[in-house]
Amino acid sequence: MKNIFTFLTVAAISAMIFASCTKCSTCSYSYKYLGKDTVKTYPETCGNKEEISNYKQLVNTEASIDNGATVSCTDK
């Protein structure tokens, strides 16, 4: 019985640690093209904090090319 409790405790702690390291984000930006509102949506990206930060920076860089672009990201 003690081994089962120990196993469940270790499994729960491991799940919490690994679940908190991985985050997902989906970004898009809207801009005007030939007078019409257009939205470019990027695929969902999952990873650690640095990978998500790089992903958001990429979207912001590409959005800066289109004047007046508005970036929106949804984190999960």
C-alpha to C-alpha distances, 10 to 7, 17, 32, 33, 57, nearest whole angstrom: 5, 11, 52, 54, 36
State the pLDDT at residue 9.
58
Contact by Cβ (8 Å): 66, 31: yes
Q: Tokens 């997902």: give the residue.
A: 24
**pTM (2 d.p.):** 0.68
Task: Output the tens digit of pLDDT for each of the chain's 76 residues.
Answer: 666 656 555 555 555 555 557 899 999 999 988 889 999 999 999 999 999 999 999 999 999 988 779 999 999 8
d(CA 56, CA 62): 10
For 19, counting Cβ atoms within 10 Å of its Cβ (0-12 exposed, 13-18 middle, 19+ buried), the class is exposed
State the pLDDT at residue 76.
87
State the pLDDT at residue 57.
96
State the pLDDT at residue 16.
52
